[in-house]
């Protein structure tokens, strides 16, 4: 592509195939190399391996083109969140979900209890509660849709109010992905990803990322990565970049499957509740439709039965994997309250279901067989 062409005018489907490539030259490789270097000759911008890597840069460029900001990659999603928290002053006030991702809430609870930060935990499904907690806070960390309840935050309203109140905003964009929303264009300071999930898409990488439009904030986060040591491996970065090439088509198929399965689950008498923002019956459907371009590939639902029955159901499938992760080509589910650190606000029977790219009828057959095996009727 010539320098005159504007990358921003490309669709996501085209960006993911094209970005993060080496400059064109005769006999040059189409893909970036795996830069296995810890030592560099003097005189360049890297200097030492904690400061940069050619393979990192290619992945960072790719994510930047999707998110619309400048990106840093980290060794995991939690490392990325840790970098944000590390640049806050002692006893800073942060607003965060009490019913969000348990890794984040556990970390924040520990920091709150040790009095390193003051955390105002809020229900992200309650906009009034969120807005009331923002004045005086240094930052608010949002998830939308939330993990695992799939509540949708009114991002345009909350971000606008936070910025007007002098409060920084970070958004975990892992569930929605850049296919469906771009927090930075709404005014957020940081868009965060567990790159392990949809961006990589093959359950073989552990990585995280932070994207921002603020050069000063970028510099502080870069320093946090450099001196905190939460750097990515070049091979993992290369795998993630390869995964991004098929991100758009994977996400499209997974979303189509998720909507169809959510409809079938919602009509099944063995299920008491289904949450998926794409369902017209979902309480957040209208809100999600107002600013999201799609609804993602995550479903949460509550089968009718005991927790033991639900565990047996999750473990009785042949196609769907009973495991903790999401965003891969394969379908994965689990009962979230099997984890002791999961919030007590999460229903005991809630199943978090990451819908993959398999044939939707095969997936439905697998679900029905699992219901039968667990005697859920």
Query: Among this protein's residues, is 101 annotated catalytic?
Result: yes
- Whole-angstrom Cα distance, residue 139 to residue 92? 8
What is the structure's pLDDT at 1? Answer: 38
pLDDT over threshold 90, residue 343: no
Q: What is the mean pLDDT of residues 16-33?
A: 92
Catalytic residue among 50, 242, 263, 338: 50
What is the structure's pLDDT at 7? Answer: 62
pLDDT over threshold 60, residue 256: yes
What is the structure's pLDDT at 302? Answer: 98
Q: What is the DSSP string of 215-242?
A: HHHHHHHHHHHHHH--PPPHHHHHHHHH
Confidence of residue 365 (pLDDT cuts 50, 70, 90): very high
Beta-bridge mates of residue 140: 95, 169
Q: What is the mean pLDDT of residues 30-45?
A: 91
The tally of CA atoms less than 13 A away on the side-chain side of residue 360 is 14
A 10 A CB-CB count for 313 gives: 26
Q: For 187-196, write each residue's pLDDT tens digit.
A: 999 999 999 9
Catalytic residue among 151, 154, 172, 268: 172
Q: For 110-159, write each residue's pLDDT tens digit.
A: 999 999 999 999 999 999 999 999 999 999 999 999 999 999 999 999 99
pLDDT over threshold 70, residue 5: no
Catalytic residue among 197, 250, 275, 337: 197
Catalytic residue among 15, 101, 151, 250: 101
- Which distant-in-sequence residues (6+ apart) come within 8 Å of 77 by Cβ? 103, 174, 192, 193, 194, 195, 196, 197, 207, 208
Mean pLDDT of all residues in the chain?
95
Check: CB of residue 77 under 8 Å from CB of residue 192.
Answer: yes
Q: What domains does the chain contain, in order, with CATH numbers? A: 7-244 (3.40.640.10), 247-373 (3.90.1150.10)
Extract the tokens encoding 328. 């891969």
Query: Among this protein's residues, is 227 annotated catalytic?
Result: no
Q: For 324-339, write each residue's pLDDT tens digit.
A: 999 999 999 999 999 9
pLDDT over threshold 60, residue 209: yes
* C-alpha distance from residue 335 to each of 134, 138, 144, 346, 374 (Å): 32, 34, 20, 10, 14
pLDDT over threshold 90, residue 289: yes
> How much of the chain exceeds pLDDT 70, in percent?
98
What is the structure's pLDDT at 345? Answer: 87
- Which distant-in-sequence residues (6+ apart) come within 8 Å of 314 by Cβ? 322, 333, 334, 335, 351, 370
Query: Among this protein's residues, is 172 annotated catalytic?
Result: yes
- Write down the pTM of the prediction: 0.95
Query: Among this protein's residues, is 27 annotated catalytic?
Result: no
Extract the tokens encoding 270. 């063995």
Check: CB of residue 57 under 8 Å from CB of residue 191.
Answer: no
């Amino acid at each position: 592509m010539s320098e005159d062409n504007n990358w921003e005018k490309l669709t996501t489907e085209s960006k993911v195939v094209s970005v993060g490539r080496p400059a064109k030259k005769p006999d040059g490789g189409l893909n970036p190399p795996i830069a296995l270097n810890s030592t560099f000759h003097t005189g360049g911008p890297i200097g030492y391996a904690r400061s940069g890597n050619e393979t990192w840069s290619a992945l960072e460029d790719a994510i930047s083109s999707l998110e619309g900001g400048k990106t840093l990659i980290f060794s995991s999603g939690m490392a990325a969140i840790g970098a944000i928290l590390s640049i806050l002053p002692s006893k800073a006030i942060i607003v965060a979900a009490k019913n969000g991702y348990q890794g984040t809430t556990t970390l924040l609870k520990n920091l709150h209890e040790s009095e390193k930060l003051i955390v105002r935990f809020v229900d992200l499904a309650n906009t009034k509660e969120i807005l009331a907690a923002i004045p005086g806070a240094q930052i608010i960390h949002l998830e939308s849709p939330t993990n695992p309840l799939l509540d949708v935050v009114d991002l345009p309203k909350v971000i606008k109010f936070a910025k007007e109140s002098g409060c920084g905003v970070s958004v975990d964009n892992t569930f929605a992905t850049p296919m469906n929303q771009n927090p930075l264009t709404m005014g957020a300071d940081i868009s965060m990803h567990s790159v392990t999930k949809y961006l990589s898409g093959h359950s073989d990488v552990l990585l995280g990322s932070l994207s921002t439009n603020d050069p000063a904030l970028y510099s502080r986060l870069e320093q946090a990565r450099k001196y905190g040591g939460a750097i990515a491996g070049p091979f993992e970065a290369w795998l993630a970049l390869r995964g991004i090439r098929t991100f758009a088509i994977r996400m499209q198929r997974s979303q189509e499957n998720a909507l169809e399965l959510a409809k079938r689950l919602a009509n099944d008498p063995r299920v008491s509740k289904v949450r998926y923002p794409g369902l017209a019956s979902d309480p957040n459907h209208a809100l999600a439709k107002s600013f999201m371009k799609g609804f993602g590939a995550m479903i949460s639902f509550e089968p009718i039965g005991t927790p033991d029955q639900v565990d047996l159901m999750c473990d009785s499938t042949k196609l769907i994997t009973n495991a903790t992760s999401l965003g891969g080509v394969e379908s994965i589910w689990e009962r979230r309250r099997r984890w002791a650190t999961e919030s007590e606000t999460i229903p005991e029977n809630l199943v978090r279901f990451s819908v993959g790219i398999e044939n939707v009828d095969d997936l439905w057959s697998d679900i029905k067989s699992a219901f039968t095996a667990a005697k859920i009727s």
